[in-house]
Structure 1
Amino acid sequence: MAILGLALLLSATGLVVSGAWLSYSLFFNPSAIASLNQFLPQWAQVPLNQEPAQTLTQIAAELSQQGKIAGEPLPLEVNPANSQPTSVILPVRSQNQIVELRVYHIVDAGNLLNRSSEIHYQFITQTDVTGPEESFVVAPLIDSETADTSSNRPLPVTELRRFDNTTPTQGIWLYLWGQRQRGQAIAYGRIIHYNPDRSYLSLMLPWTSPTSLPQWQQAIAGGSPELVIDQTVDLEPRLQVYQVKPANFIFDPLQLEPVSIAEPALDSPDYQNALLIARSGLWTPAEKWLQFIKQRQHQAWSSAAQAQLDFIRLHAEKSHQQANQIWASPSQQALTLLIDGRWGEALKVFQASPTNTQEIATLLETDNGRLGNRVEVALRVNPKRSEVKAWGALLKGAKEGRKSAIAWLKQQPQTTSTDIVYIQKLLKRLEGDFSSHKVATSHSSRFVGTAQQITQINPTQWLQIEQTPLEITQQQTWYQIQLTAYHDGNNWQQAPFKATVPQTAAQYWQQLGLDSDAEVQIVSWLPGGYQQIDLAIVKAVQLQGSTLKLLAVSEAFSSVDSASRPLVLTKATLQWLQPETITLSNLTQQLQPVEVTEILPRLWQELQLCNPNSQKPPVPNVEKMLQQLGELPVQLIDLTGDGTAEVMMTIPPQEIAAIYNSDSIELLPLDDNSRSRTLIFTHTGRLLYSEFGDATGQVVIAIADLEDEQPPALLVSSGKNYIFKRWFSQHQHFN
C-alpha cells in the first residue's frame, strides 16, 4: 500500500508539472501545442482557436495599428512537387529594426470561402527578437589592455537572411544581421532555427564577426556541416565552430554546441601540451603535433579528439595562408611568420636589412603579450629551441635593453654558451650595431631516413657536438640512421650528398637543424598497418663518401625486428595528409566530374597484371565492373599541383583477393607476394601511377606535405629504403 501511495503521489506531481508546462507553452506559443495533438487520443486533444487566414495586406494593416511594419516574407518550407513555398517567415519591424519574427502557412486560395485569388497566410507561431548586447558584439575588438567602454544595451538587428551554403538537414536555418559602424565596423546578429515538425522557431545563439558572415561548412570530419564564425582581428586567427547536437527539448530537439580546446579530449601529456601551444596561438605546430599523436594513438583516438584537431586545423590553415603571403611591411611579414610558429624564417626577415630590424624592433616594443605568450609556451614545451629563445631575448631587449635580455636568457633552462653568443649578436642589431655579418639562423630539424639497430660503435668514426663518452645503458638502444633527404633551412637536399657539406660537428648540427631539436621519431609498421613510434636523440654524425649518417640513442628498448629498416623523421619534417575516403561508386556524386567509366576499364587491366595466366579474359562491361568494384576505397587529393584532385586508390591485399575470388570477374588467385597496391588516376581516367606489375615492390606508405610550396609527396617504401616521390610536370610522372 505504501508503494502504491507513493506511485499515486508521483503521478499527481507529474500531472501538476505537466499542466504547468502546458499552460506556459499555450501562453507563449499556442500554435506549437497543436503538434502534440497527433500523439493524443481524440478526447484528450488540446482545443485551439486558430486565427483566420489573412492576406499580406491584412497582416500589414493589423501590424500598422500596433505601430509595427511588416517586412518582406522569406520562404521556409517548399513543396517538392512544384518548388513552391508552403510556409514563410515574416520579419516584423519597429522603426528600423526587427522586433518580431512570425511564421505563416500558405493557404491555397481556392479552398477559401471568399474564393479570392490573393494568397492567404495562416499564422503558425511567432517569437520576439532582441539583438545581442553591445559588450558581446565588440568583444573581438577588445584586447586585454584596452578599456571596454561598451554597454549592455541590445543593438538592433535590421535584416533576416537565409544561409546560402549547405546547411544541416535538420530543419531550416536562418540568421539575423546588424552592423555597428562606430570605429571599426563589425557585423552581428542571431542564429535562427525553425523546426517544421513542431512548428517551432528558436533563437539559437548570438554571433559577432569583424570580417565575414557566419557560414556552414564541413569543418569537423564526418557528420553534418558545422557553423563557423570568423572573429579574426589584426592577423590573429580566431574562429568559433559550433556542432549540431541533440537537445532535451520536445519542440526543437537540437542545440549548437561550441567546439572547445579548453579541456583535452585525451588523457595524454603530449596531447595536453599540443592543446597548450594551440591556446597560445601556435596553431600550425599544434596541428602537426596532434597529427603525430593521432598516428601513434589511432586506437584511442575519439570523435572529441578529432573535433579538437579539426578546430585547430582551421586556425592553422588561416595562419599558414597569412604567413605565405608577401607583405609590404617587414613587421607584418615577421608577425605572420611568428604567429605561424616559423621562428627561424622570422629571424631571417629581422636580419635582412637595418630597416627591417628597426621596424620589427618597434613591433616587439609595443607587443601586448601575444608574442611573449607564444615564446613562453613554446619554451615550456621545448626549452632547447635556440631560435625561440632568440625571440624571447629580442622581446625583452626591445622593451628593457640588452642587459635585461641577457639576464633573462641565462635564466632559461638548457641554455648553452653557444646560445648566448648567437643571441648576443642579434641583440646588437637592436642597438643599431649592424657591423657584424648576419647571424647564422637556426632552423627546425627536418630530415628523413632509415634506421638500423646496432650493438657496437667505433667512437672515432663519429663527430660529436658534446664531448662525452658514447655509451648506453642496458635499457637503451643504439640506432644508426642513414639520411635520404634533409632540409638545410632553405631547400631540400637529396642523397647522395656532396662532400662539401660542413666538416665540424657544430656545422653539421647547424646544417641539419639539430641545434634546434635533436629528437627523432623512429616509425615502424606493425602487422595490420599499425604504427609503432620510438623516440631517440641524435648524439653524433658522420659522412662516408656521399652517405650521411647519424647516431642516435633511444631510451626504450625497441621490440621491432632489428633486421627491419624503420622510417626516421623529425616532428617538423612533414605534415601527414589524410584525404577523406569514399567509395569508387560515390565518385559519380562528386561536384567535380570524375570519369568513372574511363577509370574502371584501366583499373581492371591493372588488376590483370597480378594474373600470371597469359590468356586474359575480356574486359567486362562498365555496369558489371561497377557492381563488383564499386565499394573499393578511393581518396581525392591534388597531387600534381594543377588545382584538380586526382583519384588515389590503395587496395589492401584482402580486397584484391576478394576480387580475384569473385564469380563476377574472372581473375586468378594472388601470387605469394601479395601486398597493398596503390593507383593514381586523373579525374579524366588517365593512369599516373601504379604498383601493379611493379617488380621493385614499391608501396605508398602515406601522403606528406613537405611545406615547401610544392604539391604533396608520396612517401614510398622501396625494399629497406624510404623515398619521397613527387609529380614532375615536365616528365609527366612521379619521381
Structure 2
Amino acid sequence: MANQYRKLKQRIPRTRQNRAAARKRLSEKSPQSSIWRSKLSSALALMVLLSIGSIIISCGWISILFIIDPQRVAWLNNFLPSEAKINISETDIPKTLTEIKKSLKQQKLTTGEILALESHSSQNNQLPNIFLLPVFKERNKCRSDCQELVELRVYKKSKEIEFNLQKEPHYYQGQKIEINGLSQFFVEAPVGSNVSIAGNENKEVYLPLTEIKTFDKPKSLPGLWFDLQGKHKQGNQSIIYGQIVHYNPQLRSLENMLFWKNPNNKVPQWQQVTGSKTEELVIDQTVGLEPRLQLYQIQAGDLVKNSVFLQPIELKPRMNIYGYQQSLFLARNGLWTPANAWLISIQKEIKKPLSEYVQAQIDLIKLHSQITKTQADKNWASPSQTVLTALMDGRWEKGLDVLISSPDSGREIYNLLQADRGRLWNRTTVALRLNPQRRAVLAWAYLMLTVQRGESRANTWLESQPQINRATFTYLQDLLVKLNHEVKNTHPSQIIGRVKKITTVKYANWLPVDGKADIVVSDDQVLYQIDVSAFHNGKTWLIYPFTDLQLPKIQTSLFWIKTLGLGNDVNIQIAVWLPDGEQQVKTATIKAVQMQNGKLKLLVTGDPIGENKEGYVPHPPLAFTNTALEWVQPSPMSMEALAIANPEVVEDVIPKIWRALQQSGDITGSSFTWTEIEEKMKNWPVQMIDITRDGNPDLVLTISDSAIASFKNSPQLEKINTPRTIIFAETGEIIYNDFNRDNQQALTAIAKLNNDQSIALLVGSKDKYSVRRWSEINQRLE
C-alpha cells in the first residue's frame, strides 16, 4: 500500500537524457571510427539518389521513344502482360523483300517491278536503298490486263546494326498511297468537257490502272516521274488514260500530280515547248484534223518547301491588252493561225519582257498554228478535206474557191457542213464577230446555217446582220445554189393523218412537192386529202395544230421536202376499215402540200379504196408513212386469266367497267348480280401495256358490240360498228374511256412513235385523228 501512495517525482524528458548520454558515449569512443561511419552513410545516400535519378531518366527516355519510335522499345513486350503490351505497327518493323512479298501474298496481292528512287549500283543484284514497290491485285471476271494496280509503297533500307548483320537486307515501309483508278464518267466524257475526275462518287464506276511506267528523265526535271496507265474500250474507240505520280527525293514523298485521258492512244511526253529551264509535260489529244495539245509546267509549291506541282497553261488573259485578249479568244475557238499572227505583231509593239506564263501561252498557240498550217498547205484529194483544213486554219476565201471552182463538189461540201458539230461554226461566228464586213466569213456562216437550220432561219439571221445589201444577198444565193445542187435533206418521212376522198381541187392553193407546176392524176387513180395529225421534222414530233411551226416568208418546195422528209420517199400508206371489219391498206403518192392557220394538208393520189360504213363512232381512214409508227400489239389474255394471275386488279376494275357501261347508256337496268356480271365479262380480252411510262403495265380492255349486247337489258346497238376501249392505270384510275356519251371517238390503235419510242394512242373521230401521249407533268393523256 505504501508503494501505491509513493510520492511522484518530476521526470526529465527522455530526449534530453538520450542526447546527453549519446554525447558522453561519443566522447568516450575513438574519433577514427566516427569518421568512417559518416562517410559510409553519405555514400549510401548518394547511391540511392543516383539510382532514383537514373530510374526517372530511363523512364522519361522510354516514354519519349514510345511516342516517337515505338519499335525501339518493343523489347519491353517480353516483360509486360498481354493486356499491356506495346502495339507495334507492321510498318515499324523492318522486313526482308521475301517477307514483304509473303505478307502481300497472304492478302492475295502481288508485286510489280522494283523501281529505284535513288542511284545505286546494280552489281550482285543489290537492291537500292530506297525503292518504289507497285502492288497489284487480280481482277475478277477479267480476260485481259487482269492485274490492277492498287498501291504504291516506298521502302527504305534499315541501318540498324542488328539487321545489317543478317544475310538479307531489311527495309522499313515508308509512304503508301492507294490507287483507285479513274472514273469511267471522266474517261468517256468528250475531250475538252469540264468533267471532274471524281465524277459521281456514290454511283460512278472506276476503271483500273494496270501498269506503271517511268518517264525517261530529262536532266532538268526535279525528282522522278511515273505514269500509271490503263486502257478502256468505248464502242469501237479505244481510250488510254492514266495518272501522273511524282517522287520528291528532298521530301522523300510521293504525290499525285495529274489525271489524264487520250482517245488517240498517245501517252504524255516531256517536251521543250516554251524555251523555259525545264521541259513541259505535253498531252497530245488531237483527234482527226482537230489539234488539241495540253501543256503543263513544273512550278514550285508555296505551302511546302521544295514541293512542286504541275500548272496547266490555259488560254485565259493575264494582261490587259486588247489585241492579246482577242488573240486568246480566237485561239480558244480554234483559229490558231490568225491568233498567232496577231500575237506576233503585238510582241513587236510591246517593249517590256513578257511573263513566263504569257510566253508559254504564245508558244502553245504557235504550236497549234504550225499543225493547222501544215494541214491547210497539204494537197488533199477530196474537195471536202481541202475546205475543212482551209476553214480550220482561217482561210475562208480559199474554201469558197474550192466550192466555186468544183461544180461537182456541192454534195460533198454540203455533207461536210451538215456533219459539223460546232468546230467550224464556232470558228466562223468568232471570225465574223471580229470582222463583220469580211464577205467570205459571212458566206460560210450563211451556208452552215442554211444546211443545219434551214433556209428560212438562215435568211432571218442574214437580215439581222449589218450592211447586207441586195448584191450580197444575190451572191449568197448563188453559193447556196452550188451547195444545194441535187441535195435534199433526207431524214425519213414520218407522217400520220386522216384521209378523205375529194373530187374537185383548186391547184392554185397547193404547192407541189416535186417543184412542178401541174399535178397530173391518171385515170385509174383518185385524189385524197390528208389532214395531218402529227409529223416528225427531223428533230421532234409536232402535233396538230401546227401553230408553232416556223414558216419562211416564201414557202418553197425545198422547205417542205426537208421539213416532211420527202427527199427519198413520197409514198404514204392509207388504211381503211371495211364494213365486215377487214382492214385494207393501199399505197398513195404525195403530190402537194398546203399550210393554212396551223392546219397542214397533203394532196395525194392513189388507187381507189373501199369505204367504211357510216356509224356512231367510225374509224376514219388512216394515213401513215412506213417509218412513222411501230404497232404495239401484245398478246391478249382473258379477264378470267387475269383474275387468276392478279385477282385484286380484277376485283377493282369490274365495278368501274360496269359503272362506265351504265353511264354511257349502253346498259340499262341493274338486275344483274355481281356473279352474273363477272361470268359475262370473263372472256373479254385485255392487254397489259405501259401507257403511263412508269414501268408498270396498264390494263387495256377492248369491248365489242356483241359483248355489250350479251346483257339481256341492253338495247340494240345498231349504230355502233367498232369495238370500244377503256384503259385503267396501274393505280386503278380510268385514264382513257370510249364510253363517254359526249365523246364520239374510238381508239384505233396503240403504237410507238419512231424517233421517240413513246406510246401514243391513235384516236379516231368522224372528222380527224388525234395523237395522244401521256403527260408526266399533268398526269393525263394529251
TM-score calculated relative to the size of structure 1: 0.48
Rg larger in 1 or in 2?
Answer: 2
